[in-house]
């Protein structure tokens, strides 16, 4: 079944700002993004933190179908979107009838567990500089796209302070410092990491400094 056929059968056009579901809600549907973006956020210590921005090809809300549990995060349409809305019966038929879909979902869920571990590790770091460097090093290693001069990480810098639990001015200061050291370069739609190994080494230096102080 082609994308247009899928959209005709399961699709919805949803405007920016629409809250699809909130953390703690019950739910019986999962979603697949055909176009646009959806922000996934979670409340931490009375602050709403954006965990991810999902684009075309990404899916979310599957745990309500797989384990029949309450929503663990809030999903908000960040830009006008076309979404496929899949109910449990349709989901089961798709997985049973197409092994490729099942394998893709397993891989995606495994990647999300790895990403969750990285986020937990990041939030254990005390200072803003370490959090930013840890995030960029991990992103470069896991989803960086080879470009002339390094690996490009596509991201919305405006979403980072909320995701990392830091202030906007702290992020600006760290990026400026990393830029002067030529460890990171800001480019359209993201940042460029010339040498991920050097960025990881800098993170190790920061962690040693935090552990032992200035010596």
Q: Are 41 and 74 in contact (CB under 8 A)?
A: yes
Q: Is-same-fold flag (3-122; 127-212)?
A: no
Q: What is the CATH number of domain 127-212?
A: 1.10.10.10
| Domain ranges (residues) in the chain | 3-122, 127-212
Would you give per-residue pLDDT tens digits along the chain (215 residues)? 556 677 788 899 999 999 999 999 988 899 999 999 999 888 766 777 787 888 898 889 888 888 888 898 899 999 999 999 999 888 888 778 777 777 777 787 777 777 776 666 666 667 888 899 999 998 999 889 998 899 999 888 887 887 788 888 999 999 999 999 999 999 988 899 999 999 999 988 887 877 666 54
Q: How far apart are CA 10 and CA 21, in angstroms?
A: 18
* 38 bridge partner residues: 54, 77
Third-level CATH fold of 3-122:
Jelly Rolls (2.60.120)
pTM of the prediction?
A: 0.56
Give buried/exposed letters for 129-141 (b at 16+ CB in 10 A, else e).
Answer: bbbbbbbbbbbbb
8 in Cβ contact with 49 (< 8 Å): no
């Amino acid at each position: 079944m082609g994308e247009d056929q899928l959209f005709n059968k399961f699709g919805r056009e949803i405007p920016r700002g629409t809250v699809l579901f909130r953390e703690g809600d019950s739910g019986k549907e999962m979603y697949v993004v055909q176009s646009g973006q959806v922000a996934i956020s979670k409340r931490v210590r009375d602050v709403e933190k954006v965990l991810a921005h999902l684009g075309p090809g990404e899916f979310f809300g599957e745990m309500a179908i797989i384990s029949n549990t309450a929503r663990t995060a809030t999903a908000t349409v960040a830009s006008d979107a076309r979404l496929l809305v899949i109910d449990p019966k349709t989901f089961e038929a798709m997985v049973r009838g197409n092994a490729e879909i099942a394998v893709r979902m397993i891989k995606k869920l495994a990647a999300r567990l790895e990403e969750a571990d990285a986020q937990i590790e990041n939030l254990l770091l005390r200072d803003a500089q370490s959090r930013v460097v840890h995030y960029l090093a991990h992103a470069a290693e896991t989803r960086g796209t080879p470009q002339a001069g390094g690996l490009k990480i596509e991201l919305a810098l405006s979403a980072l302070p909320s995701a990392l639990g830091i202030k906007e001015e702290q992020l600006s200061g760290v990026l400026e410092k990393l830029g002067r050291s030529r460890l990171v370069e800001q480019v359209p739609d993201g940042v460029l990491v010339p040498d991920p190994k050097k960025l990881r080494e800098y993170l190790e230096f920061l962690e040693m400094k935090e552990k032992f102080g200035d010596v």
